[in-house]
Structure 1
């Protein structure tokens, strides 16, 4: 293997710090520390936080319970990100707290779309055709 080969995924350190930030964000949201009208009454989940290799930026993927008003909630979190960063900093025990950017987590939508495709009549018909072809050989 050559020296300039880069690993395919995030490093262990990136994953560990991302998980620390994720837990800190979840705790802050659970306690309702962020005061913004758009967040009132919202239960926000944080399925994933991806760190940049230099650990300076945390991309936090969030989704309100039920998925309603996701864009408005992400906008409110981004408006309050300096405050949130100040709350996260003491919880993660790092020299510098990362800048936090919030995004709507669309993995649930994507999984639902793939599931619907797999259940479609066309795919089911193709699967049946493949099974029948296998039986004839």
Structure 2
């Protein structure tokens, strides 16, 4: 299985979790409303599954996935091209001393869920689980 999204140790603080969720909601809204001045980015449907934040709250990693069979490479190119505008738009809704740098990674949660469902649907696995 993949590496944990959080650092080794006790895990994220309540503040990190709160700020991460606030950034996730704000980023989702910005992308949904098409607040960015890039028609190519605005035509994409992007889901922001989770945002993790570094302990100093200066770096936010957004786990994103294109909806409707979009191409991840194209999505990442457009997000990278509009990174500073996205950062400004997200920071408007935050009451932090610094606007966090936003990094984007592919959210593979949905792929893992599909694989888990596939495994549980196999007769041998279902039989073992039911016993």
Normalising by structure 1, we get a TM-score of 0.79
What SS is found at the alignment partner of 1:92?
Answer: coil
Aligned to 2:4: none
CA distance, structure 2, for counterparts of residue 124 and residue 89 of structure 1: 47
Structure 1 residues 37 and 90 mapped into 2: Cα distance closer, same or farther (>3 Å)? closer
Aligned to 1:42: 44
Aligned residues of 2:44 and 2:70 also touching (Cα < 8 A):
no
Unmatched runs of 5 consecutive residues or more in structure 1: 1-5, 132-137
Aligned pairs (5 A) from 1:118-133:
118-127=120-129, 131=131
Displacement, 1:109?
0.7
What SS is found at the alignment partner of 1:49?
Answer: strand
Q: Does 1:104 align with 2:101?
A: no
Aligned pairs (5 A) from 1:36-115:
36=38, 38-115=40-117
Aligned residues of 1:63 and 1:105 also touching (Cα < 8 A):
yes
Per-residue CA deviations over 1:82-107 (Å, capped at 9, x if unaligned) read: 11111111211111010000112110
Displacement, 1:37?
5.4
Aligned residues of 2:36 and 2:42 also touching (Cα < 8 A):
no
RMSD between superposed Cα atoms in Å: 1.8
**Count of aligned pairs between the two proteins:** 123
Displacement, 1:33?
2.0
Normalising by structure 2, we get a TM-score of 0.83
